[in-house]
Structure 1
Amino acid sequence: MRIHHHWTGIAPAHRGASVAMGNFDGVHLGHQRVIALAAEAAAPLGIVTFEPHPREFFAPAAPAFRLMNAEARTHRLEKLGVAEIYELPFDAALAGMEAEAFVAEVLVAGLGVRHVTVGADFCFGKGRKGTVETLRREGARLGFGVTIADLVAAEGAEISSTAIRQALSEGRPRDAARMLGHWHRIEGPVRDGDKRGRDLGYPTANMALDGLHLPKLGIYAVKVDVLTGPHAGTYDGAASLGIRPMFEVPHPTLETHLLDFTGRLYGEHLSVALVEYLRPEMTFDGLAALVAQMDADCARARRILAAL
């Protein structure tokens, strides 16, 4: 898989894909349907997406909302067989480009697309004036195919990134997973922490949550993929997502304890899947009570993960 960060200067061998186009935040079942239809239309399979997310560009001070960062999105798309990712820089120039100009300059002249697939609610171009009908019209005029994917529903409700965020905010990761088609994952490097967990007998891998939508704060049963280093593999774990009220951590972090694991993970990349919400954050009458609760949390997480 190749990642291109602009629509210009792309070698001929990497142009001419059948592309699915969208933001693909979460790569949920609706997104997967769009991608599958693009794969059916022609080969090779490509993705046209944007970085930063347009919502981040237009409202940089708004609360973090993304379900996954660009790296996690790339990992998920790779699993779907994507050969070319065109991760276009969403800046003032792209935001101000009229829909017809975007089709002609980016999709045709730049990427040389053979086919474009989008969801039925897709809008693009300056002021979001471009619609699926615009895309159909320009495709017929400029010589590429267009497929419009119907919106996907689950249990009678439309699947959307918004609905997935709500499920996560309410501590319902299994409901989120049903809409995603996979566990909701938080990915990134392990950073140095204050090592309190190690001193308590529960060493943790600490990860930042910058720019991501915050699931409900609390303790989770998790599955952990260690993606790099000598300990690469999949592990069961229990994780604390929050501010650790006993220790007054100023910003929420994800601190994951891998069950039955010994080793150092600093600097390695992890992918932590939220499986089940166990309880909210709490304060305790001393460290002994905290450790007793951590014992109980890990035992419960072990039972839940063993039953998957």
Structure 2
Amino acid sequence: MTSATAHLPPARILPLDAIPAEFRGGAVAIGNFDGVHRGHQALLEAARSEASARQAPALLLTFEPHPRSFFRPDEPTFRLTSVEAKARLAAAFGLDGIVVAPFDHDFSQTSAAEFVERILIGQLGIAAAIIGHDFQFGHDRLGSPAFLAHEGTLRGFALSVLGAVIDDQGSAFSSSRVRRHLHEGEIEAANAELGYRWFVMGVVQHGDKRGRELGYPTANVRLPADCGLALGIYAVTLTRADGTTRDGVASYGRRPTFDNGAVLLEVHVFDFDETLYDETVAITFHRFLRGEERFDTIDALIAQMDRDSEVARRILAEAGPGTSLDQRLALIAPTAPVAPPPGIR
């Protein structure tokens, strides 16, 4: 399958300490939003609705790095959604921008009252805040929905507190559950939890050209070291900055038949002979095919790659356009957004 659509830019990434005037006074959904799963999406929809009613900007306020990574640096957190991916998802919900707060030592010491005074009022000038029922903020997590409601009454901003969004089994949608599914290669279960097909974004790098020698040239993207995706072979699609989406098969692993080196995502795009070096692309995961293996001969490896490609082609031919969110994401190509402020990578 090859498709191309007109595309929109991702939501603008805004530094917290320099919010342009046209983005002040907005309706702001606040949280980590790692994964932007179905529960998070309710907050984004509420922010867009509130902003529309007020004819105000719709924003997402998030934190980088993930607070868990800051407080537990020895326990890497598998990040589901990069800043750039959040910007793409935010645009799919009609948001105007995402505000990135650098979560460092000084920020971790910010009291709940200071968070409201300095950030929500001083820097964002919010008209409305949208949070989940379990949202806590400020030093020692002393800020609560009740505290924020009280502050809103005093300072003149509205507050919407949303309850948990529940799946068919009565459980709340969860980033932790998505991580577990991806770690086990359960792509379809992860995608069901998310409400869209999980994707990663990155810049295509030069490799050792070994794939080309095997008849399987690849676009290579190095994912963050904390990526907990199961090593193995996947049916994927690759989307370019021009909005073109193509089918492919990808290996995420260490290449045990060759060097057993650093983990790399290598995507073979079907029926494609252009170069992609230095392009920002999005790679969307449809299904896990098999685990990574070591082959005794190159011929055995190529024969397996042929079988993997045949299976991936069949899966992708039957995949369809996906959910309504997948279809909105198809309109938003992975163009490189405005660089985040220093210190949040």
TM-score scaled to structure 2, two decimals? Answer: 0.85
Matches within 5 A, 1:262-273: 262-273=273-284
SS in structure 2 opposite 1:167? helix
Indicate yes or no: 2:182 matched with 1:168. Answer: yes
Q: Secondary structure at the match of 2:238?
A: strand
> Aligned residue for 2:8?
none
Q: Structure 2 CA distance, aligned partners of 1:261 and 1:302?
A: 14
Distance 1:218 1:274 in 2: 12
Larger relative contact order (CA 8 Å, sep ≥ 6): 2
Q: Which residue of 1 aligns with 2:314?
A: 303
Q: Is the 8 A contact 2:24 2:57 kept in 1?
A: no
- In the alignment, the residues of structure 2 paired with residue 174 and residue 114 of structure 1 have an alpha-carbon distance, to the nearest angstrom, of 39
* 2:95 maps to which of 77, 82, 90: 82
| Counterpart Cα distance in 1 of 2:21 and 2:241 | 32
How many aligned residue pairs are there?
Answer: 304
Asked if structure 2 preserves the Cα contact closer than 8 Å seen for 1:69 and 1:212, the reply is no
Q: Deviations over 1:246-283 (max 9, x none)?
A: 11332211100001111111111111111101001111
Within 5 Å, which residues of 2 pair with 1:1-308?
A: 1-6=11-16, 8-42=17-51, 43-156=56-169, 157-227=171-241, 233-308=244-319
Show CA shifts across 1:56-89 (max 9, x none). 2222232241002111111111221111321112
Instruction: Provide the residue aligned with 2:342 in structure 1.
Output: none
Kindly indicate whether the alpha-carbon contact (under 8 Å) linking 1:67 and 1:212 is maintained by their aligned counterparts in 2.
no
Structure 1 position 209, deviation (Å): 1.3
What secondary structure does 1:198 align onto? helix
Contact 2:257 2:296 in 1 (8 A): no
Aligned-partner Cα distance in 1 for 2:191–2:166: 14
Distance 1:249 1:71 in 2: 30
CA distance in 2, matches of 1:215, 1:25: 15
Deviation at 1:11, TM superposition (A): 3.5
Aligned mates of 1:258, 1:12 — CA distance in 2: 43
Give the Cα–Cα distance (whole angstroms) in 2 for the partners of residues 69 and 76 of structure 1: 11
Relative to structure 1, the CA distance from residue 113 to residue 297 in structure 2 (aligned partners, 3 Å threshold; closer, same or farther) is same
Q: Displacement, 1:194?
A: 1.3
Q: Provide the C-alpha distance between the structure 1 equivalents of 2:251 and 2:309, rounded to a whole number of angstroms.
A: 11
TM-score (norm 1): 0.95
| Dislocated runs of 4+, deviation >6 Å | none
Q: CA RMSD in A?
A: 1.4
The whole-number CA distance in structure 2 between the counterparts of 1:278 and 1:60 is 33
Q: Extract unaligned runs of 5+ from structure 1.
A: none
1:74 alignment partner, SS class: helix
Partner amino acid, structure 1, of 2:164: L
Task: Using the TM superposition, give the Cα deviation of residue 212 of structure 1 relative to its aligned residue in structure 2, in angstroms.
Answer: 4.1
Structure 2 spans left out of the alignment, 5+ residues? 1-10, 320-345
C-alpha separation in 2, matches of 1:224 and 1:139: 44
Structure 2 counterpart SS, 1:241: strand
- Identity over aligned pairs, percent: 42
Contact between 1:18 and 1:114, CA under 8 Å: does it hold in 2?
Answer: yes
Once the 2 structures are TM-superposed, how far is the Cα of residue 38 of structure 1 from its aligned partner? 1.5
SS at match of 1:153: coil
- Residue 210 of structure 1 aligns with an amino acid whose one-letter code is P
2:110–2:138 Cα contact (<8 Å) kept: yes
Q: How far apart are the structure 1 equivalents of 2:206 and 2:116?
A: 45
3-state DSSP class of the match of 1:85? Answer: strand
Q: 1:287 Cα shift?
A: 0.4
Cα drift, residue 211 of structure 1:
4.2
